[in-house]
Chain A
Amino acid sequence: MIQYIIRRLIGLFFVLIGIALLTFTLMHLAPGGPFSTERTLPPETVARITASYGLDKPLPLQFLTYIWNISHGDFGISYRQQIGAEVSNIIFTGFHNSLQLGLFAFAFTIFFGILLGILAAIGQNTWVDYSTMGVSLAGYSIPNFVLGTLLLIVAALVVNPHLPANFQIPIGGWIDNAGIGAIFLPTFVLALRPTSVLARLTRASMLEVIRQDYIRTAWAKGLGERVVIIRHALRNALLPVVTVLGDEMGNLITGSIVVEQVFVINGLGKQFVLSVQQLDYNIIMGTTIFYAFIVVLINLAVDILYAFIDPRISYTKART
């Protein structure tokens, strides 16, 4: 097991290098640079600025320097935001909000996704099943930015039906400036799609497990419904569910970009879109690597978790 984790971590390192290289190449393919402005600056000024940031060096050297720096925890400084703003600070401030949003949404997803899936499976072909699956198909199909935008106005009208023309959305922003009430809508909107996916998957998986012999045995032994469903059926039904958790968690992280835009949350996603438009090299690189790092870590965690839940899986044996 430990050997497997080490091997994965080494692979993970190369994946991250690959992602950095890819982003770096793409970024420098883009026309212009962080210092292209509407005004034409005198060429000496441009040369001086680029030289002071080391952007005049050959690209491979720039890349290696960058990798060397981030391996020492130095993500460089932003070229476009306040002078000398550290990218690591920008990332962590933005990520503070994104992470909260992501974690709330993830908790929501796991709880409601699995709960609804179980309920639908137990009541297969009853109204519980149909309504749950109907809602989940809707949740899967309605884009979160459409739903979020519409919920915003509904919520605004509920909170205050006589809004002035230049109203400020009372549920915009995140906890820090809008209070705890600000978490409900963004969390719900962000979590709806993964919750639907999870509910459908849990239902399908439960249905398959429920028909197996050992469940019939459990019923026949006269065990209570709770014991049969939770202790016997659910444990096995959750196996395929765990495999998608990693992907869904990754989707939550990237999906939050849109939700942050809708609910005016100052998160990392918003920051990223801005920096791409401004070609703020260091922020683009830093954010991409940071997100990728989280995604690969989550995937690794899911794979390890999988081995713990399913004793049939062993990573120590040579894989065929």
Chain B
Amino acid sequence: MAKEQDDLIKRDPAGVPLDDSAMDEEGVPARRVVTVLPTVGGDIIGEANSLWRDAWLRLRRNKLAVAGIFVLIFFVLVAIFADFIAQHPYDYQFSATQIRKEGLCPPIPVTPPNELPKPAPYCSVRFQPPSSYFWFGTDDLGRDVFSRVIFGTRISLAVGLISQLLILLIGLPIGLIAGYYGKWVDYLLMRITDVMYAFPTILFAIVVLAVFGQSLFNILLAIGLTFWPPMARLVRSQVLSVREKEYVEAARAIGTPNRSIIFRHILPNILSPVIVSITFGIPFAILTEAFLSFLGIGTPIPLPSWGLMVSDGKAYLRTDPTLVIFPGLAISLVLFAFNFFGDGLRDALDPRTRK
């Protein structure tokens, strides 16, 4: 009995026997080791794993999530290598002479001597249909739509990721402090959070943008300042449930300082819902940026925000719907991918919701 307990203690927390190859002289295993084989969806997957590895294995089985990951990798690559993929600058307005040279307009006929020159045939750089020179055609100002969509990837992804970082920077400490210290600190912080939570979200973002002016940085600021309360509430509620667990009590009993309890014991245990929330927050931030740009108060011109492109193209819907379709498709695809990935991640990190 004592030996068995000893064995159990020597196993590492994830359940892997520390040393099951040790034999005594007769070739019998020196210790009886209880091996619990971890399973995923009823299948034994071999050695025990850390939470993250388990989650990754579960995620990998979710076809939609994997598809989402691939699409996301694709878009990240596009954003990184935008300079190489886009054939033209995103804000360059082409001239008729240039596209004539590319053979997109009928050439100016050579006037024979002694004749008056005929007027050059009509040639417009606006609303060029897709061609090998302009893959997605040109917009109402004679700019290359393909290049704009490609560079737009940068704006969307940057807004999505950085704004979530900002939300984390504001919401996480507030939630941690409120949840851990409780009492009046909690009360004060949560009343502030309540005010922000009740603020109709888009309205606040609009006001912030109006106050600080239109720029990419201010969009980040607006999104960050608007959407931190749900994060703070999530973190707080998680801390409240973890705070009373035995291991935290034990840590406190042996005199661990508060800071290490928060960072070494509490934070790692509330991480999965936070990660899931961030994963869903990214597409929401991207959507919000597109929203604000669509209203004409977000990304300033001539930056190639997808929302701005849809808004600009709306006026020419009848004559050239591609101006709306291409950026609209790009943004929908990114949001799709993030949502698929987020769904998969949530199921993977929280086995209780597994189907």
Contacts and interface: CB of A to CB of B under 8 A. Distances in A.
A152 B318 CA distance: 10
Tell me what chain A mostly uses at the interface: helix, strand, loop, or mixed.
helix
Given A145-B310, A276-B210, A153 B198 contact: no
Give the bracket for the number of chain A residues in contact with chain B.
35 or more
Contacts of A183: none
A291 B355 contact: no
User: Chain B CB within 10 Å — which of A142, A165, A204 has the most?
Assistant: A142
Contacts of A27: 207, 211
Contacts of B166: none
Interface stretch (A72-80, A215-223, A253-261): A253-261
Contacts, number: 125
B328 A146 contact: yes
A19 B324 contact: no
Interface in A122-156: 137-138, 140-143, 145-146, 149-150, 152-153, 156
Interface residues of B, number: 45
A27 B192 CA distance: 19
A204 B353 contact: yes
A296 B331 CA distance: 32
Nearest to B195: A18
A291 B203 contact: yes
Nearest to A16: B198
B172 interface: no
Interface string A279-308: 100001001100110011001000000000
A15 B195 CA distance: 5
Interface in A103-117: none
Contacts of B339: 137, 140-141
B27 interface: no
B302 interface: no
B298 to A, nearest CB: 11
A292 B198 CA distance: 6
Contacts of B313: 149
Nearest to A165: B318
A247 to B, nearest CB: 9
Interface string B286-325: 0100110011110000000001001101100111010011
User: Chain B CB within 10 Å — which of A145, A149, A156, A262 has the most?
Assistant: A145
A273 B297 contact: yes
A29 interface: yes
5 contacts: A27-B207, A31-B213, A143-B307, A149-B328, A273-B295
